[in-house]
Amino acid sequence: MSEKMNKPGKKGFARIIAATGYSWQGLKAAYRNEAAIRQELLAGIVVIPLAIYLAKTGVELALLVGSALLVFLMELINSAIEAIVDRIGAEYHPLSGQAKDIGSALVMVAMIIAAIVWGAILFYPT
């Protein structure tokens, strides 16, 4: 029963190229269809240069930029969850609401992490 499944499709470098294309399509779809993604990108345009300016070390830069990207990442996951739930059906179901709420919680926790990282670096300098 532990036979390896042979998945059809591209292999090697061609698979990497195809995966990159799929990822780009996903980013474009998220940008087109999700206001929160557009807001996070706008925030990133402001926050990432600010992080570059404020960081005193490579570690600080990685933490500041990484925490901003974490928020964007969680927003992408939240958007994917919402798209899947909406695809299943428009009628209300408690598990659908729960899935969407948990996705929203992902974003909130990432924002809290970002606030802690930025606060620690800006207000507790070494």
- The set of catalytic residues is 75
Residue 77: name the closest of 117, 120, 34 by CA: 34
* DSSP three-state, residue 20: helix
Note whether 42 and 31 are within 8 A (CB).
Answer: no
What backbone phi and psi angles, to 5 degrees, belong to 11? -135, 160
